[in-house]
Amino acid sequence: MGMLGSQKMDYQDSALSAPSGAPADPALAMETGQRYRNPTEVQMSQLVLPSHTNHRGELSIGQLLKWIDTAACLSAERHAGCPCVTASVDDIYFEHTIRQIQIMPPWQQHGKNDVCVGQVVNIKAKVNRAFNSSMEVGIQVSHEDLSTGKQWNVCKAYATFVAQGKATSKMKLKPLAPQTEEEKMEYGIAAERRRMRVAHTETLKNLLTNSTIQTERENGECSTVVPAEKTRVESVELVLPPHANHQGNTFGGQIMAWMENVATIAASRLCHAHPTLKTIEMFHFRGPSQVGDRLLLKAIVNNAFKNSMEVGVCVEAYQQEMEVNRRHINSAFMTFVVLDQEGQPITLPVVKPEAGDGERRYREASARKKIRLDRKYIISCEQTKVPLSVPWDQSNKVYLSYNNVFALKTLVAKTNWVLATETDKVRMYMLEEDKYLSFRIEMTLCIDALQAFSLLSDLRQRHEWDHYYASAELVQQVDEDDMIYHVVSQAVSQEKKPQDFVILASRRKPCSEGDPYVIAFRSVTLPTCPPNPDYTRGETMCSGFCIWQETTELTKVSYYNQAAPGYLTYVTTNIAGLSSDFYVTFKACERFLQKNKEDIAVGLQNL
């Protein structure tokens, strides 16, 4: 996940008014006239100096990682009020970063140091959500050209920090109160990203056991074969006080910078050219390291694809006299490309892996490449780029669920909903944005939120209240909270075939107090459920329920739908007051919930 692609954005304003989630919400303007500022926000501005650049005059990624980690750590500590350590960092993509940060092309450089003059990197970090002892920190990096005043968004990254309270017990962090639309959205989705992090190792394991991975490159595309061992690098670093925080714990960013260094050397040994780092895969710091530790870094090219290669790096720590007792600090995988003069990636040599571990890593690198692509495109959630119905498979299930919940929570967090019509306490709101028209129908019921959640998350019962549904069949139970249904709609007329849908339903219970129950729906494709000539295959982009327990008796149920073109007439007719269809349907929903709540209450007690 991490930086969801970097976006080049030109904006003239100062760093303070940069598009960093600064709220436009007038309700948050403070009485003094100052703008609202997230209390955990930390800003860092760094002038790029020659010592920060690599051999090509670009800002070194290792240096950038150190700044990112420091700013993020200070933000985490601001919330926690005690020292924090980096637990993990999500995927980071450097697609445009390096070229944007490259201050001047080499042919325009007058002297060795000119390249750095006048360039600034601005970093903003803030805590998105605190869980128990851990926090998700969102980091936004922009690049500023002081001579023109222009700024570019370079990347967005997410890291998890763990508060180090008393040595004897686990810290319980105070909850965070999100204020702006953006803060509320990040807060809601942070819980889903946490699920994804926890599932990461399992996802990789599943892919390796369940799929056939194409490992051989096509013959004839490259005649050079390089034995992997020629790229092997081993390097040692001594952790000194400047590499650590005031508690003596090594900064995660410093370790990442050392890792990037050895990985770059391994990649260069494969291609005998200067490689460009494109991605750092999500990774986890397994154990702490302190001042005085020796860190042993080992890297090798695991696999080279046509235009990109994966380098793996492993870091172990030991104390002076105990080299035998090495502690595994972390392992990370980085993707490099080699660019030609036009900036196009060149074809890389073929790697011949070493027998044993080398061959295993070669196959695993292919699996990771597939997962990386899934993650990048599915979780980026940019509706214009992600196909409406993404093929579902075991290896992308976590990301598709993330995408499903993300889309709904984003819609829920929007603040510009407008009340369109209200009939007998059933309210319909609408939201016009770009090319989408979304609507939300809301009612407050005398029911327990968990009961409503259980009843509404089973699509097989929906035909009882929604006359658009003819039937729904469970075709795949992905896990306890994610199900795939085949849904058939009622035929509208004799001439028209009914529509059918393959829908992924992802339901989530509250992660902490105050959170709603969420049930998200989106279309997917499933090989076992191909289009059928009896139906017209339909697709749904984003819809679902959000359920809030308001008091011990009352629950607010909201249904959301981001209307696809086929659905628009229905919505606009209701909004214009030409039909009371939505009211009839949701009154039927209320009766359905009331009728079944006693039965479900018994079932829930038995769980």
361 touches ligand ADP by CB under 6 A: yes
Q: Which of 300, 420, 483, 563 binds ligand ADP (CB under 6 A)?
A: 300
Distances 338 to 106, 204, 304 between C-alpha atoms, Å: 16, 27, 11
Using CB under 6 A as the binding rule, the residues of this chain from 26 to 65 that contact ligand ADP are none
How far is Cα 30 from Cα 503, in angstroms, rounded to an integer? 44
288 touches ligand COA by CB under 6 A: yes
323 touches ligand ADP by CB under 6 A: no
78 binds, among ligand ADP, ligand COA, none (CB under 5 to 8 A by kind): none
313 touches ligand ADP by CB under 6 A: yes
Structure tokens at 346: 């060149």
Can you state the angle between helices 568-575 and 581-605, rounded to 10 degrees? 110
197 binds, among ligand ADP, ligand COA, none (CB under 5 to 8 A by kind): ligand COA
Using CB under 6 A as the binding rule, the residues of this chain from 75 to 114 that contact ligand ADP are none
Q: Which of 45, 132, 210, 528 binds ligand COA (CB under 6 A)?
A: 132
460 binds, among ligand ADP, ligand COA, none (CB under 5 to 8 A by kind): none
**In the complex, residue closest to ligand ADP by CB:** 312
- 373-403: string of b/e by CB count within 10 Å (b at 16+)? ebbbbbbbbebeebeebbebbebbbbbbbbb
Residue count of the chain:
607
> Which among 345, 259, 357, 364 has a CA at the least distance from the CA of 303?
364
312 binds, among ligand ADP, ligand COA, none (CB under 5 to 8 A by kind): ligand ADP
Stretch that binds ligand COA, among 282-290, 319-327, 353-361, 455-463 (CB under 6 A): 282-290
Q: Is the separation of the CB atoms in 497 and 534 below 8 Å? A: yes
How far is Cα 508 from Cα 506, in angstroms, rounded to an integer? 7
Stretch that binds ligand ADP, among 193-201, 307-315, 366-374, 580-588 (CB under 6 A): 307-315
Rg (CA), the chain: 26
Q: Which residues pair with 228 in a beta bridge?
A: none
Considering the complex, what minimum distance in angstroms separates the CB of residue 435 from ligand ADP? 44
Ordered strands of the 233-238 beta sheet: 92-93, 276-280, 327-337, 309-318, 294-304, 233-238
331 touches ligand ADP by CB under 6 A: yes
Burial group, residue 426, by CB count within 10 angstroms (0-12, 13-18, 19+): buried
Q: Which of 37, 232, 274, 497 binds ligand ADP (CB under 6 A)?
A: 232
Q: Which is nearer to ligand COA, 19 or 288 (CB)?
A: 288
Considering the complex, what minimum distance in angstroms separates the CB of residue 579 from ligand ADP? 60
Distances 68 to 51, 122, 253, 254, 388 between C-alpha atoms, Å: 17, 10, 7, 10, 34
521 touches ligand COA by CB under 6 A: no
213 touches ligand ADP by CB under 6 A: no
Q: Which of 302, 335, 499, 543 binds ligand ADP (CB under 6 A)?
A: 302
Using CB under 6 A as the binding rule, the residues of this chain from 252 to 281 that contact ligand COA are 252, 255
Q: Which of 128, 140, 160, 395 binds ligand COA (CB under 6 A)?
A: 160
162 touches ligand COA by CB under 6 A: yes
How far is Cα 367 from Cα 352, in angstroms, rounded to an integer? 17
Phi/psi at 183 (5° precision): -65, -40
Is residue 555 helix, strand or coil?
strand
Place of tokens 């003059």: 117
Is residue 507 helix, strand or coil?
strand
Report the Cα 345 to chain-centroid distance in Å: 26
Q: Which of 1, 139, 299, 413 binds ligand ADP (CB under 6 A)?
A: 299
603 touches ligand COA by CB under 6 A: no
Segments of 170-323 assigned E as strands = 225-227, 233-238, 276-280, 283-284, 294-304, 309-318
Q: Which of 81, 106, 287, 391 binds ligand COA (CB under 6 A)?
A: 287
Segments of 131-266 assigned E as strands = 134-145, 150-163, 225-227, 233-238
Using CB under 6 A as the binding rule, the residues of this chain from 69 to 98 that contact ligand COA are 85-88
Q: Which is nearer to ligand ADP, 299 or 450 (CB)?
A: 299
Q: Which of 96, 217, 274, 298 binds ligand ADP (CB under 6 A)?
A: 298
Using CB under 6 A as the binding rule, the residues of this chain from 187 to 216 that contact ligand COA are 197
Considering the complex, what minimum distance in angstroms separates the CB of residue 163 from ligand COA? 8
Stretch that binds ligand ADP, among 122-130, 311-319, 439-447, 557-565 (CB under 6 A): 311-319
Interacting residues toward ligand COA by CB under 6 A? 85-88, 131-134, 160, 162, 170, 197, 249-250, 252, 255, 284-289, 329
List residues near ligand ADP by CB under 6 A. 232, 298-300, 302, 312-314, 331, 357, 361
